[in-house]
Chain A
Amino acid sequence: MAHQAHAYHMVDPSPWPLTGAIAALLLTSGLAIWFHFHSTTLMTLGLILTLLTMYQWWRDIIREGTFQGHHTPPVQKGLRYGMILFITSEVFFFLGFFWAFYHSSLAPTPELGGCWPPTGITTLDPFEVPLLNTAVLLASGVTVTWAHHSLMEGERKQAIQSLALTILLGLYFTALQAMEYYEAPFTIADGVYGSTFFVATGFHGLHVIIGSTFLAVCLLRQIQYHFTSEHHFGFEAAAWYWHFVDVVWLFLYVSIYWWGS
């Protein structure tokens, strides 16, 4: 029987990078086809292929790590670096939108009336639903930390409860934000105010949904005994991502909702 003389993981050949690349191609070209020829077929195909790729690729990683034991300490270290680098890239992604916001709001043009908020824009009261949203996300940061400590201490039931609570809070945020979007007195088409507001908060909302999904997968895995008190990197990655989402919200709240009103 062949053995490797190192602790690293030489992954088996996998079709998912290829299907992922094809999915990306179908998504992008499908978007262009939708814009120009009003057909959503290609894009929908791309979306389905993307979801299938994600499901199967990550399922395989869980199989390799949890069931086959390939995630040795150096492998886990690599996964940690990977998650940190990914979150860092997302930080830069949001930095761009904050740059756009501050560029527009520090030097409001004459078209806006030379003032911020621009003439004619009724801003949302930062001390109403946005403040509740802040409290919800901060609370979810507490519950996810509670979940982590429960995991580390082998408290299975508490880990499940606190993780479930975290996800519920995430869903509550999403529901509140969706209602705010519906009820807002301005739209994305309302000048640079609308653009910066909805693009920045919109991408944040998407990240909340992604983060909630990641946590939900962790909840299912925890219920199915995947995590040990010593080894639960999937959960840690989800928790890091969740804290990142929370921090982005705090910056959004202070900059756009509060200062920008």
Chain B
Amino acid sequence: MFSAAVLRASAAGIRCLTRTRPVYTAPLVVRCFSHAEVETDEEFDSRWVTYFSKPDLDTWELCKGMNTLIGYDLVPEPKILDSALRACRRLNDLASAIRILEAVKDKSGPHKEIYPYVIQELTPTLQELGISTPEELGIDKV
């Protein structure tokens, strides 16, 4: 739902009209899309949940994963964020956990309804892991 569907593996998407062999009289339309595999939203989500679920994920991999994920043109699903927050817990990194929540708010851009929804979905996890939101800490205002 949140994937703005930009993450298609390099789709060329150029339509072109080509002539077929002289045997047929009518021209055929050929769609010149890239032959790369297209990942579904579910596959994308589960790939990232798996990434953060690695038991021996190290700090560098956590930072790299988050940086890559936030670079995409989408707001990550709560299940991905849940996996990332649990990775932060394993690595004793509270700062990154709260930063992830800030990043979600930033990625939502003008869609102000996304952030409260994500917090709502993550509340059980936040309570379980003892993670405060930026709003609770008063650091959401500059």
Contacts and interface: CB of A to CB of B under 8 A. Distances in A.
A108 B60 contact: no
Contact of A103 (B60, B62, B70): B60
Interface in B95-141: 95-96, 99, 103
Given A103-B60, A107-B60, A107-B61, A116 B67 contact: yes
A113 interface: yes
A82 interface: no
B60 A110 contact: no
Interface string B56-79: 000111111011001000000000
A108 B99 contact: no
B93 interface: yes
Of residues A107, A109, A111, A115, which shows the largest number of chain B Cβ atoms within 10 Å of its Cβ?
A: A107
A114 B60 contact: no
B64 A109 contact: no
Nearest to B106: A115
Contacts, number: 30
A106 B71 CA distance: 11
A110 B67 contact: no
Nearest to B66: A114
Interface centre among A109, A110, A116 (most CB of B within 10 A): A110
A121 B70 CA distance: 19
A107 B64 contact: yes
Contacts of B61: 107
Contacts of B62: 107
Nearest to A115: B67
Q: For the complex, would chain B's binding face be called helix, strand, loop or mixed by DSSP majority? A: helix
A116 B63 CA distance: 11
B139 to A, nearest CB: 12
Contacts of A113: 99
Contacts of A109: 59, 63
A245 B93 CA distance: 41
Contacts of B95: 110-111
B64 A110 contact: no
A106 B67 CA distance: 7
Contact of B93 (A106, A108, A110): A110
A107 B71 CA distance: 12
Given A103-B60, A114-B103, A108 B96 contact: no
A9 B127 CA distance: 78
A205 B67 CA distance: 31
A119 to B, nearest CB: 11
Contacts of B70: 114
Give me the 8 closest cross-chain CB pairs, A-B, nearest first.
A107-B63, A107-B64, A110-B95, A107-B60, A110-B96, A114-B99, A106-B64, A110-B99
